[in-house]
Chains A and B, each alone.
Chain A
Amino acid sequence: MITSPALSQAAAARQWFLAREDLGALVEAIRGTGRRVIGPTVREGAIVYDEIQTAADLPAGWRDVQSAGSYRLERASDERAFGYTVGPTSWKRFTFPPNLPIAKAHKATFGFEQPAPSVPPVAFLGVRACEIAALAIQDRVFLGGQFTDDDFRARRSAAFIVAVQCTTSSSTCFCTSMATGPEVRGGYDILLTEIDGGFVVQAGSPGGAAIVAKLPTRRPSHAEAGAAVDNVESVRTQMGEPLPMAGIGDRLKLQLDNLRWAQVAERCVECGNCTMSCPTCFCTSVIEQSDMDGKSSTTERQWDSCFDVAFAKVAGGDFRARPRDRYRQWLTHKFSTWWDQFGSSGCVGCGRCITWCPVRIDVREELAAIAPPIAPVEHPMAVEPVAASPGTYSIARLASVRPETEDTTTLSLTDLDPAFLEGRPGQFVMIALPAFPAVPISISRFRANAIDLTIRAVGQTSTALVNLHPGAKVGLRGPLGTFWPIQEAYGRHAVVVAGGVGLSPLHGLVDALVANHDRFESVSLFYGSRTPEDQLFRDDLAAWTASKAIDVVVTVDRAGPEWKGRVGVVTNLFDMISWDCTKVTAFVVGPERMMQASVQGLISKGVPTDRIHVSMERHMECGIGLCGHCQMAGRFVCEDGPVFRLNDLGDMFNREGI
């Protein structure tokens, strides 16, 4: 978390008056400390945030008129420098740039360079209460989890905050509903409140106090101090009754099947402008740019949007295929599942998503229509910052390549960072090649000095990986994600249900079950695949069967006459379970439809839902909870999963469009 050093209460409460004509002294004083000043300025018919050289660059005498889908500048009747609300730019442009080179790969040396961020000191001038709240949300998203974003940390730490109290509001503003404003309550170095003739100034940090000391200030009169308070209070009155937001998170969760999602999706053009304008939306994708000589490539991170049609796509299909799924994802994330992930709302009430929506969708109207008020529910607000652990690449060497089926291949990797060997069955790695974007692959087997990755060649990176020859190098990050809670099956019947390539993330678990088989009441593997040719790990299946430590039952959906084994869907196999199913702990992986059928079959046999563990597949770009692609309701599949306890997923399991 980024917090300024504390200032004594008395110092923080001290106020000065700065005349309007002396505002330039503030800009100069800040620039004098070697900081660039970013602040509001008029450009392209709007007040945007850009570099400020002098106070003359500020939008004195301009006001904005905003409504859904419309923004216009007008001359104001006074010369206030900050007599507008918030414009198209949000500060995330400077804390979380829209395009950021994050790595460079060199083919000759097989080096993955992830440059340490170097950010010159900067000052944000004119930060509003809702925007300070947005910065605090970004802090929780980028710095509050297990993995942190070093570039954000550097940019955030480099920023000196000059906050400005709002003395007016737009029709799109709803900070009072989100409890983020209108008053600035902290998180600044200097705070300005504009009144007739000048500003009431307060310092919020020793750095801020040092700047204020250089300004030609005097103590404000009682009238001036009073006007400052009244001006901010008038904004609250202007905005009217706050929206009934109590319990909105739970209210939305009850409305996932509301018909309104489809109606709003008919209007929504999925341009993504709401997400781009939003000061807290943080989804990104990476693109690879290769030099034509093939010697080096650059990985650039770009702002992306969950409204993108390919955002939740994996090789097997699209988890949010319909526009209504994507609109629901965005709105429920902002107002509901953000609480589950980050302990706060994802919305600060700045209203940018309303103003900058070209088809004039007003999120306040949608919330009121979809999730009208019910009795409020208290939310815990406890997010402990965790130490940073950057997701940096290490290089591994390809020891062997074994074809499993027509399109699936197992790679054995060696010369590993020891962390990988200490990984647990169920975890995955992000694997990359120079010029090819990283993809998530689960670890199928842990060997003495190697790990196996079993890869289906479906995309560009996976195809390139399976075409490598022994000796080739690959870049790895990880091991990542949750693992199979094997101890939960101690003393019980351990049942592994695998479908198709789903046996891959279960292979390591089966190895562990076999090695410790006497700790379980029984151990069985039910493995279904489409045809006998689609079976993975045929040698291992035979070895497991021979070991007598596990009961291996395989079936295929269809087969030619030469196949003498079972034919039929994998759920048919549950009929042979003769033991007490309340004593079963099940581990299930396969294509989502197969998992759904299997889980239903297990539940109908009496297996408790807290004893069923599944591994989910989602699109991932980063693997460390920062890119937003793998979000599944209130969880990131990369960090909170991929292994989930079924009842932790609740009704999100197999729900359409999540």
Chain B
Amino acid sequence: MATSGRTARPRVAVAKFASCDGCQLTILDLEDQLLEIVSRFDIVEFPEATSRRSPGPYDIVFVEGSISAPEHIDQIKELRKQARVLVTIGACATAGGIQALRNWADHDAYRAAIYAHPEWIESLATATPVSEHVKVDAELRGCPIDPGQLLELLTAVLVGRRPQIRDEAVCRECKRKGIVCLVVAGGQACMGPVTTSGCNALCPTYDRGCFGCFGPRAGANAKSWSAELLKSGRPPEEVWGLFAGFTGYAEPFRSVITELGKSKG
């Protein structure tokens, strides 16, 4: 079951595509457990932490970022070949991330608006999750990922079981924590009912409605929730933004956005 001794430490690589490195930083932020982690895992590739490079194969590859540039496609396929277990981390890698907003926009116009020399920029017209390109063994959601879920995944690897990562509404975490519902008592917009848990209701704890950065939970009734948000008097642009924000390219958020986009014109 568990690996024994230093020699059998799993070889771990951390790789990134289009992303802000925030999820990689979450790994480094596990200050209390870092020593424990490096004593049990052989971290051989980690651009955010070390310039040391080491070729595959790897036991575990953590992938951050979305597939956004032409060369990414071959790179992720090669990485998959080198990985026994491939884990995507963060909203970009699991759902396309904020970059995926361009999937509904005019790519060339975006590029021209942002870069001084758009002709130097080679990028794909869409930003897509890693799972659209290769098989993914596990996902850690969020922008950024939750350190607790990361630790659970690492621990589960050591113990030899499946990580216990629940897929339930953020509302469940609010209720267990005793947070008063921001929607019912505060009239705030919140993505909690359709978003998967794992953040321990971080934003609602600080009196902010959920931004949906962990993405849709299994069976999320996004259709009913968007209808309710509209019914409560929010303009379609606002509802569009709520669903599109971090994980809008993931179904069923994607269908809601497409539908709202049609009515928005």
Contact = CB atoms under 8 A, between A and B. Distances in A.
Interface stretch (A354-362, A366-374, A600-608): A354-362
Interface in A243-288: 266-273, 276-277, 287-288
Interface string B5-43: 000000000000000000000000000010011001000
A459 B192 CA distance: 29
B133 interface: no
A637 to B, nearest CB: 23
Nearest to B160: A464
A46 B176 contact: no
B256 to A, nearest CB: 13
A290 B221 CA distance: 33
A323 B220 CA distance: 10
Interface stretch (B62-70, B94-102, B182-190): B182-190
Interface stretch (A68-76, A583-591, A645-653): A68-76
A308 B155 contact: no
A89 B37 contact: no
Interface in B65-85: none
B185 A45 contact: yes
Contacts of B158: 290, 292, 294
B184 A69 contact: yes
A436 B169 CA distance: 24
Interface residues of A, number: 55
B265 interface: no
Contact of A270 (B1, B221, B228): B221
A46 B185 contact: yes
Given A70-B184, A271-B171, A271-B193, A359 B36 contact: no
A572 interface: no
Contact of B36 (A269, A288, A292): A292
A93 interface: yes
Nearest to B151: A292
Interface in A20-76: 43-46, 48, 69-72
A359 B1 contact: no
Nearest to A266: B224
Contact of A358 (B166, B183, B207): B183
B166 A290 contact: no
A217 to B, nearest CB: 34
B141 to A, nearest CB: 16
A287 B164 contact: yes
B194 interface: yes
A44 B180 contact: yes
Contact of A267 (B152, B172, B177, B224): B224
A269 B184 contact: no
A89 B171 contact: no
A435 B176 CA distance: 23
B187 to A, nearest CB: 8
B161 A277 contact: no
Interface in B204-255: 207, 217-221, 223-225, 228
A250 B151 CA distance: 49
Contacts of A302: 176
B162 interface: yes
A268 B222 CA distance: 10
B179 interface: yes
B150 to A, nearest CB: 12
Interface string A108-121: 00000000000000
A485 interface: no
B225 A269 contact: yes
B2 interface: yes
B180 A310 contact: no
B221 A269 contact: yes
Given A88-B181, A269-B225, A358-B181, A292 B218 contact: no
Given A358-B228, A460-B162, A276 B180 contact: no
A467 B180 contact: no
Contacts of B264: none
A361 to B, nearest CB: 10
Nearest to A293: B36
Contact of A292 (B154, B178, B225): B154
Contacts of A272: 168-169, 171-172, 175
B167 A358 contact: no
Residue among B37, B184, B187, B228 with the highest chain A CB neighbour number at 10 A: B184
A270 B151 contact: no
Contact of A98 (B37, B171, B176, B224): B176
B177 to A, nearest CB: 8
A99 B176 contact: yes
A46 B179 CA distance: 10
Nearest to A43: B180
Contacts of B159: 290, 294, 297, 435
B219 to A, nearest CB: 4
B49 interface: no
B172 A464 contact: no
Contacts of B176: 98-99, 276, 302-303
B81 to A, nearest CB: 26
A167 to B, nearest CB: 22
A48 B154 CA distance: 38
Contacts of A69: 183-184
B204 to A, nearest CB: 10
Contacts of A266: 221, 223-224
Contacts of B151: 292
A303 B175 contact: yes
Contacts of A308: 168
A267 B178 CA distance: 25
B112 interface: no
A309 B218 contact: yes
Interface in A468-504: none
Contact of A359 (B175, B217, B224): B224
A289 B151 CA distance: 10
A292 B184 contact: no
A303 B168 CA distance: 12
A335 B1 CA distance: 47
Given A44-B179, A69-B184, A290 B155 contact: yes
A10 to B, nearest CB: 41
Contact of B224 (A48, A268, A276, A289): A268
A71 to B, nearest CB: 5
A277 B175 contact: yes
A529 interface: no
A291 interface: yes
A305 interface: yes
A297 B1 CA distance: 15
Contacts of A323: 219, 221
B219 A44 contact: no
A93 B178 contact: yes
A429 B53 CA distance: 51
A633 B156 CA distance: 35
A437 B162 CA distance: 11
A304 B187 CA distance: 26
Nearest to A64: B185
6 contacts: A45-B186, A98-B177, A290-B156, A290-B158, A292-B151, A323-B221
Interface of A: 43-46, 48, 69-72, 88-89, 93, 98-99, 266-273, 276-277, 287-294, 297, 302-305, 308-310, 323, 355-360, 435-437, 459-461, 464, 467
Given A289-B152, A460-B161, 10 more contacts: A93-B178, A266-B223, A269-B193, A269-B228, A271-B193, A276-B171, A288-B161, A294-B159, A358-B228, A359-B224
Interface of B: 1-2, 33, 36-37, 40, 151-152, 154-156, 158-162, 164, 166-169, 171-172, 175-181, 183-187, 190, 192-194, 207, 217-221, 223-225, 228
